[in-house]
Amino acid sequence: MVETGGLSTFNIQHGYVEALVRGMRNSFVSDSDYHHLTQCDTLEDCKLNLTESDYGASLQNDSTLTPQDLQKAAVDKLAVEFQYLRSQAVAPLAQFLDFITHEYMIENIMMLLKGTMAGRDINELIAQAHPLGMFKESTMRSVVAFESNAKGYADLYQCVLVDTPVGAYFSKFLQESSQNVGAAGEIRNVLEETEIEIIKASLMKYYLEDFYAFCSSLGGDTATIMCEILSVRADTQAINVTLNSFGTPLNDPSMRSTDRRRLYPSVGFLYPAGTSMLAQASDEESLGQVCSLYPGYASAWACHVENDDRSIDDAFFERDAALHELAFESQMHFGCFYAYVKLKEQEIRNLVWITECVMQRQKEAVNQFIPLFSQHAPWRQKGGRR
């Protein structure tokens, strides 16, 4: 394992790339830009305001700006920036950046599988794929050719995915599910739609565990910062899996401690005590009880229960944004690369939200975005919600 280097040696290999990503940090939409955007009455005004920002160049071509166009342009811009960083990086940073893309690869595969099940056109699906997780065109086209059952997935792995970076996660999933056919296996075939979600959750679990192991092997500040971010991520995943399982066969008492439990990542602050409690949770109330034991998640859960205008996802996003901003507070580690991608994603969500609100004339909801690197961020307010 190549070391990342400490205070006095990090810059040998990674000084330039780190400075680049910190330069890109300047491109986040500022408070005043957000303020102007929220004041807009039409999408044309929005576009005019955005031309001043870093997105100006990428929005030039579209005559009218819809939230979808904006999202596509912004994601493409992020992908271009990321590719630039990737091309400047050497090991182990290059590996680290590749790890970031694996998540989007998993999402793309799942999107393709889900899309074909719904009978959608493959060209349309490929156009929708996230540019950070792109495979070769031939790979993407062949993903959809397999049946959505256990044998189909095994074939899919052997013919297509074995060569891709996410192949290892897929093979782990296949191994695990072949070991556990039995009573559960019969119910499995009934699931279909849920099946895709289960595959996705297990792939993400293996991905998080793998990424976590990689980051802790890097050591130093990278391990400290990334392991915290990934732990929180893993906990979010565990809580979401539990929450989404209610009302599905996964919440069945016989499956809770077997199938559902297997979807909880074996990293994170909840693991192992919290996840074993989660495995027993049968309804929202008992899930809430588990969350209330962990101060960080208790407040997020409160958002879910109180049912104000923020969902539990918003609470998680807000907490993630605060955590990711912290990665920029120290120098000479890899955390800021991950944080940059995630914060840009959040910014894209913000912009899409604002433009959607402007389009639908929902003026009162327009301010429900999460400001980034802002003095007005909720987590910087004294006594504000956390």
Partner 1 sequence: MSSDASGCQSAYCNQGWSEVLTHMSPYGWGSFGIAFGLGLSVVGAAWGIWLTGSSLVGAAVKAPRIRSKNLISVIFCEATAIYGVIMAIVLNGLMKKPEDSSYVDGVFSEGWDYNTWYFAGFGVFCSGLSVGLTNVASGISVGVAGSSCALADAQDPTLFVKILIVEIFASALGIFGIIVGIIQSNSSQFPDKLIN
Where along the sequence are the contacts to partner 1 (CB under 8 A)?
A: 7-8, 11-12, 15-20, 22-27, 331
Residue placing its CB nearer to partner 1 in the complex, 21 or 106: 21
Measured from the CB of residue 12, what is the shortest distance to partner 1 in angstroms? 7
Residue placing its CB nearer to partner 1 in the complex, 18 or 195: 18
Q: DSSP letter at 65? A: -
Residue placing its CB nearer to partner 1 in the complex, 7 or 183: 7
Residues 283, 286: Cα–Cα separation, whole Å? 6
Residues 28, 25: Cα–Cα separation, whole Å? 6
Measured from the CB of residue 340, what is the shortest distance to partner 1 in angstroms? 12
143: tokens are 């993903």
Residue placing its CB nearer to partner 1 in the complex, 42 or 87: 87
Measured from the CB of residue 89, what is the shortest distance to partner 1 in angstroms? 12
Measured from the CB of residue 17, what is the shortest distance to partner 1 in angstroms? 7
Cα within 13 Å of Cα(301), Cβ side: 21
Cα within 13 Å of Cα(280), Cβ side: 9
Residues 284, 295: Cα–Cα separation, whole Å? 17
Residue placing its CB nearer to partner 1 in the complex, 22 or 376: 22
Q: Note every long-range contact of 319-325, with CB atoms under 8 Å and residues 24 or more positions apart, other chains counting.
A: 319/232, 319/386, 320/232, 320/233, 320/236, 320/346, 321/346, 321/370, 321/372, 321/377, 322/377, 322/379, 323/228, 323/229, 323/232, 324/229, 325/372, 325/373, 325/377
Measured from the CB of residue 8, what is the shortest distance to partner 1 in angstroms? 5
Measured from the CB of residue 11, what is the shortest distance to partner 1 in angstroms? 5
Contacts for 74 with CB less than 8 Å, ≥ 6 apart? 55, 58, 344, 347, 348, 351
Measured from the CB of residue 25, what is the shortest distance to partner 1 in angstroms? 7
Residues 201, 99: Cα–Cα separation, whole Å? 17
Residue placing its CB nearer to partner 1 in the complex, 17 or 255: 17
Residue placing its CB nearer to partner 1 in the complex, 58 or 108: 58
For the chain, the 3-state helix, strand and coil shares in percent, each to the nearest 5, are: 75, 0, 25
Residue type, 24: M
